[in-house]
């Protein structure tokens, strides 16, 4: 996964220096800290230099945060993308989804799932990305899951 070439942790970089994109992690990241030894004028000491690739505000939409959830609805559909306009996956396309009577992928009541990304479509429609696909965490203001907190 990704390149084994990394920036040296003691390499001093400046705020206007472009990071070497070939050393960026390859898969599904929201942000990348490419050095902890950056500098800016007027500050004595090292600072982190980061690139944000996604709207970080969406990661806490509607009180939902990435983590583990239990399904409280009778079942929630697993879709190919976030939103009701996207096709539901077939159960055989997923690792953890069950099949409904049509062979479509669902998480059944009581199932647990790990949500890695939160997507806010609108205030009352929040989706989560799982290893199997996208699921509605809240739709029309109704929550379909319960967070499992440590």
**Is 57-148 a domain of CATH 2.40.160?**
no
**Overall pTM surpassing 0.85 (yes/no):** no
Q: What percent of the chain has pLDDT over 70?
A: 71
Residue 55 confidence (pLDDT): 54
Given a cut of 90, whether residue 131 has pLDDT beyond it is: yes
Contacts of 21 (CB under 8 A, 6+ apart): none
Parallel, antiparallel, or unpaired: how do β-strands 47-52 and 31-39 relate? antiparallel
Q: What percent of the chain has pLDDT over 90?
A: 48
Query: In angstroms, what CA-CA distances link 143 with 6, 37, 52?
Result: 42, 43, 29
Residue 36 confidence (pLDDT): 82
Each domain of the chain, given as residue ranges in start order, spans 13-52, 57-148
Is residue 1 very low, low, confident or very high in pLDDT (cuts 50, 70, 90)?
very low
The mean pLDDT value for 110-136 works out to 93
Write the pLDDT tens digit of every residue in 23-68.
666 555 567 777 888 888 888 888 888 776 655 554 456 688 899 9
């Amino acid at each position: 996964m990704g390149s084994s070439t990394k920036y040296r942790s003691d390499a001093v970089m400046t705020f206007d220096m472009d990071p070497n994109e070939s050393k960026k992690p390859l898969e599904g990241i929201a942000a990348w800290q490419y050095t902890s030894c950056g500098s800016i004028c007027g500050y004595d000491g090292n600072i982190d230099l980061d690139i944000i690739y996604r709207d970080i505000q969406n990661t806490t939409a509607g009180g939902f945060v990435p983590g583990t959830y239990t399904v409280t609805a009778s079942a929630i559909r697993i879709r190919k993308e976030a939103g009701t306009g996207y096709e539901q996956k077939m159960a055989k396309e997923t690792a953890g989804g069950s099949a409904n009577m049509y062979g479509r992928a669902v998480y059944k009541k009581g199932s647990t799932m790990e949500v890695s990304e939160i997507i806010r479509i609108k205030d009352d429609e929040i989706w989560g990305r799982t290893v199997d696909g996208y699921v509605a965490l809240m739709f029309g203001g109704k929550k379909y899951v319960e967070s499992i907190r440590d």
